[in-house]
Amino acid sequence: MSKVTLIATGGTIASVEDSAGGPVNAGLAGDRLLDSLHDRPEGITVDVENFQAVGSYALDLDTVYRLCVRISEVLADPDVDGVVVTHGTDTMEETAFLADLLVASDKPVVFTGAQRHAGQPDTDGPRNLSDALRCAAAPALRGLGAVILFEGEIHAARDVSKVHTSRVDTFRSPGLGKLGEVDGARVLVYRHPAERVQLSTPRLDETVELMALGLGSRPGFLDYCRENGAAGVVISAFGRGNAPKGFADAAERLIGAGIPVVIASRCAEGRTEPVYGRDSGGTTLVGVGCVLAGTLSAVKARLLLSILIGKGADMDEIRTVFAGYGG
């Protein structure tokens, strides 16, 4: 008999309409989610913890840090084989990535949720939860880090992104693909993710800012960050890691003030690389001291930088860690 702990954090899977046709809000406890299962996996006992029932768009870094600490505490129990976290889809990939970095156990940590709320007759929550419980109890998932289970597919936290606002197959790992899948009662693993980075920190720095670039974006926001207490900045830049005119000079001012600047790409696939020069091409940005995010998306690069600043890492350590992602 396997033992899995379900940690319920709200999200669409735990949400219903406040009134007919009204707004949808989280509120169902973990026990209610278990009761909704049409196909409860055999051979698995489930303990339930209700962590915080909110939509994932309302979570903050302090709350998610406490969640990662709690996951670690639960997995330290030798009788627990794995953890399932029910979570809203809006920021699931971010919380899962933090768990991948901060939870040291090799036991499975499986995030799941729903795109159709619990009051809809075709809600996808019960199926996802059943599959996630199977994954959390599966020896094949040991050592793979945190994963997202959705619509029968298993995705590595490092690679996965939400790619559709409403479809039930919203999670994809662009350019890499899923780790495996659940087929009936079978958990199948087809590939292993890249080697995990494991970090520890007493806190996450909540003052790391994120800027998304568009054609003709102006760099004034970087000066605003420098003047208003930002501890770091991540830029979601073009292509290989390029920015409009003026960004290299603005980034250099931040870096001169001791504020790290990380350059990610807004592209869904590929990695940053210093190729282009002149004003604010990737080579110029690296030349003034920016750090490239490699294959990490901007939202995940921000979380990694939040950990590193929270633990007091210097620029050399920041560069070394991001280099591990191809930066």
Please spell the DSSP secondary structure of 77-134, one letter per residue: STT--EEEEE--SSSHHHHHHHHHHH----S-EEEE--SS-TTSTT-SHHHHHHHHHH
320 among known catalytic residues: no
- Closest by Cα among 312, 40, 303, 309 to 146: 303
Q: Cα separations (Å) of 193 from 104, 173, 197? A: 16, 11, 11
Residue whose structure tokens are 């627990």: 80
Q: If you count them, how many residues does the chain have?
A: 327
**Which residue in the list 12, 170, 272, 284 is annotated as catalytic?**
12
Burial of 327 (0-12, 13-18, 19+ CB in 10 A): buried
The answer to whether 100 touches 148, Cβ cutoff 8 Å, is: no
89 among known catalytic residues: yes
What span, in angstroms and rounded, lies between the C-alpha atoms of 224 and 248?
15
**Which residue in the list 5, 89, 112, 272 is annotated as catalytic?**
89
Query: In 207-297, where does DSSP find H-type helix?
Result: 220-227, 247-256, 282-287
Catalytically annotated residues: 12, 89
